Amino acid sequence: MSIYLGIDIGASTVKLGLFDPEKGVIGERLDRPSRASEGPDATVNVIKTATSELLQANDLQFNDLKAIGACCPAPIDASGMCVYPTNIDRSWQGANVSQKLSEALQLPALLLNDGDAAAYREYRVRSAENKASSCMAQFITGTGLGGALIINGKIWSGPAVSAELGHICIDSSENADLCGCGARGCVETRASLLGLRNMVKHRQAKGNVPEALQGEPMEVAKTLRRLGQMDDPLSDVVAIWQEYFTSLGIAARNVVNILGCDLIVISGGAQEKEKAASDRAYQRFKQDAIASIRQGIDQSFPHLTQTRVEWSIDTLLDSAAYGAAQYASVIGNTKS
């Protein structure tokens, strides 16, 4: 057997899955509260217990596991250390999570940033469908904005950390919104749920927001997702989404100018399809989004038509856990 354990560590939930490089995903995913606010050791204990449950549910033994591919929402260095706790408790700063996992489960362990893991999964699904590229950038929206570069089939990483596309600066003005990384004007301050909140706050400060956009900004940010995908959205709602996707387009333009990527992929929960939205309304929302992003890129290269801007094709909700496991299977970080 050569089965890999995939683990997606989040601030509130940890997701575990099993992956076989030959057969693909095995069985069902297992979710548990991560207890991340109690520090990495508490989460590793949760993972240890959950791994036993997952193996048992699939009639497998610990010995069937070859290695661990894990990910978490923070910049990770080459040794598997959490460099800065952007979207997880401060107690994770400086923790070598891959070492902790390896010791607890007695298996080789690889730790990735969660955006990198999700993008790698997307790359592999695209490769199987002949829709991949040797130079791809992916933006993954949620509360914040993750991002990754997959170059020649590998996650791009420098000696310090891998690419942090959410922190590309798109606004250098003095009063630009403050980002979780400590800088101002990052694309994350626009293209994310936090970004939607910021844009609503700015409109509220001017005092001319429609009734539908009044209330607590984070709740309104979620309402915006629903309103943006209605058959007949309000013009203010359309304008906010346009600003959101135009900001992604500016960041994408920077990436294309640095690396020459010919595929930009958009994924993530901040613009996922609302249950109430009709297919037609959601298609319109997607087309408007892609047009706004294209416009950002085209400001620099109006004739560079080979750069594709596409929605994610990976429909797995837990793609990061499986992406990490799949990457561990090709990187060769396995027991002998």
Residues lying near Zn ion in the complex (CB under 5 A) = 167, 179, 181, 183, 186
Angle at 259 between CA 166 and CA 271, to 5 degrees: 35
| Rounded distance between C-alpha atoms, residue 169 and residue 254, angstroms | 9
CB of 302 to Zn ion, least distance (A): 29
Amino acid making up residue 176:
A
Please state the closest distance from residue 164 (CB atom) to Zn ion, in A: 8
- Shortest Å, Cβ 221 to Zn ion: 18
**Tell me, what amino acid is at 172?**
S
**Closer residue to Zn ion (CB): 70 or 179:** 179
In the complex, least distance from residue 222 CB atom to Zn ion, rounded to whole angstroms: 22
**Closer residue to Zn ion, CB minimum distance, 181 or 291:** 181
- Least spacing, CB of residue 183 vs Zn ion, in Å: 5
3-state secondary structure of 178: strand
- Return the exposure string of 125-162: e unless at least 16 CB atoms fall within 10 Å of the residue's CB, then b: bbeeeeebbebbbbbbbbbbbbbbbbbeeebbbeeebb
Smallest separation, CB 11 to Zn ion (Å): 17
d(CA 274, CA 286): 12
186 or 255, CB closer to Zn ion?
186
Please report how close the Cβ of residue 186 comes to Zn ion at its closest, in angstroms: 3
Residue 333 and residue 322: Cα distance in Å, rounded? Answer: 16
Of the candidates 316, 324, 315, the residue with the CA atom closest to the CA atom of residue 4 = 324
- Our CB check for Zn ion shows the closer of 75 and 249 to be 75
Contact 153, 123 (CB under 8 A): yes
Q: Which one, 186 or 270, has the nearer CB to Zn ion?
A: 186
Instruction: Tell me if residue 146 falls in helix, strand or coil.
Output: strand
CA 313 vs CA 86, 151, 166, 267: distances in Å: 27, 18, 21, 9
Comparing CB distances to Zn ion, the nearer of 151 and 169 is 169
Nearest to Zn ion of 100, 167 (CB atom) = 167
